Structure 1
Amino acid sequence: MFRAKVVDIEQRAENLVVTLKADRSWKGEIPSQVIVHTALHEASCGFGFEEGKEYLVYATNEKGQQWETSLCSRTSEITNAEEDLSFLGTGTEMKDGQTEKDPADAGQEDEPDHVSNKNESSTPARLYAASGILIAGVLVALIIILLRRNRNVP
């Protein structure tokens, strides 16, 4: 999570590549210049950034790949983020001079900064838990069906 001003928007295929100048963060260390990808259209959950406006950005950078955000995140124009800012507190002021290269560009020599995401390691665990619940539900349904059939047999 960081507060940033849009300095450039570039369209690439079905994505918008948005360059932001960040001045404050709330989770981990991020560079002062951040390149965020979002879908091109709102119908594809793309967030409608506007050049020159300031935003509170909720973006993910899982496994050191490119930063991404969507319409479904809590990203919003800073003037509409009062409730979030009140909850988050003051955050950390950004250091000048830090920049980030877009990993989508050729070379990728420098590994981009990575904000740790507590949900990264729990994603497989959630998948296993959901699968287990689904299997348990199917087993319960089968047992009920078998018990009902046994009652009807003389």
Structure 2
Amino acid sequence: MLGLAATLFEVPKAHACSCVGSISPGEQFEKSTAVFAGKVADIEAGDYSNTVHFDVERAWKGVSTTTLALTTSGSSDSCGYDFEKGKEYVVYAYSSDESSLRTSTCSRTQLVAYAYDDLAYLGAGYTPAPGQPATVAKEPGDPLLPFIGIGAAVTAAIVLFTRRKSKRQK
């Protein structure tokens, strides 16, 4: 009887995080302060947020160093991204004061292994210079970047279509 009463009065866990719709790589790029790919070197867990240290391998916007740190909420219920040490991510980060980067589950931040559309849009990017101070600089957008991204997406679609067609003919 007590078990039944506990079941009847069980309150579902509330989730405060909700993201509004999906956003394209181009839209996310424009809204971000920094965009980079890197491997998680360390994670410092705090009371309410985690500081995640990255070894930056490639950058597309706002990154001038090969290492940087950003924060994310310590809970996925508060839209915190659950990074894992040693894994590689494409990260879309934002900042209100150009010194502290943040990211969340509502951005397109994801494992590099799943970031096909993002990598096709972003293109080659650049390698940040080692030994540079860890600053985040807002850069003006490259006017050719959307065309490069569209060209990469069209090329990827053609390759995919050709492979599927050749598999069907076998």
Q: Same fold (TM over 0.5)?
A: yes
Deviations 1:97-120, CA, capped at 9 Å, x for gaps: 2353xxxxxxxxxxx3333488xx
1:88 paired with 2:101, answer: no
1:62 to 73, 81, 96: 96
1:27 to 43, 58, 61: 61
* Cα RMSD after superposing both structures: 1.7
Show the counterpart of 1:53. 87
Structure 1 runs not aligned, ≥5 long = 101-111, 119-154
* Cα distance change, pair 99–12 in 1 and its aligned pair in 2 (3 A): farther
Return the index of the structure with the highest Cα Rg.
1
Distance 1:97 1:78 in 2: 25
Distance 1:41 1:117 in 2: 33
Q: 1:113-128 residue pairs with structure 2 within 5 A?
A: 113-116=136-139
Any conservation in 2 of the 1:61–1:115 contact (CA below 8 Å)?
Answer: no
Supply the AA of the counterpart residue of 1:96.
P
3-state SS of paired residue (1:3): strand
Show the counterpart of 1:74. 108
Deviations 1:22-67, CA, capped at 9 Å, x for gaps: 0111113432111010000111000010000000000012322311
Distance 1:96 1:16 in 2: 25
Percent identical pairs in the alignment equals 36
1:44 to 57, 63, 78: 78
Show the counterpart of 2:36. 2
What's the TM-score, normalizing by structure 1? 0.64
Distance 2:66 2:122 in 1: 19
Supply the AA of the counterpart residue of 2:93.
A
1:18 to 48, 52, 63: 52
What's the TM-score, normalizing by structure 2? 0.58
Supply the AA of the counterpart residue of 2:73.
A
Distance 1:116 1:94 in 2: 14
